[in-house]
Amino acid sequence: MEYNKEILNRLKRIEGQVRGSIRLIEEQDECKSVVTQLSAIRSAVDRAIALIVSKNLEQCLINDLHQGRETSQAVNEAVELLVKSRK
């Protein structure tokens, strides 16, 4: 799969959020602020995973269609990846 700049930018934003969370903890900030930041990180990671899986699925489906193959395996693998990411 070819990763684009959008995915890289998302991960860099997440990296910044993690650094911010570490700073909050080092500064002994209140629990609510830390949990809010960590929740935002979890949500951002979930969106990044979904984007990566959807882009990969799109590429796999296009390749399968061009090669005359059944597409259900690519769809099943994408669903498995999403389910696995939530365990």
Q: What is the pLDDT of residues 29-73, one digit of tens each?
A: 999 999 999 999 999 999 999 898 888 888 888 888 888 888 888
Distance between CA 39 and CA 41 in Å, rounded?
5
**What are the residues whose beta carbons fall under 8 Å from the beta carbon of 11, sequence distance 6 or more?**
48
CATH number at residue 62: 1.20.58.1000
**Does the pLDDT value for residue 24 go beyond 80?**
yes
Structure tokens at 35: 């949990």
* Boundaries of domain holding 75: 5-85
The structural domain count of the chain equals: 1
pTM for the predicted model, two decimal places: 0.79
Q: How confident is the model at residue 76 (pLDDT cuts 50, 70, 90)?
A: confident
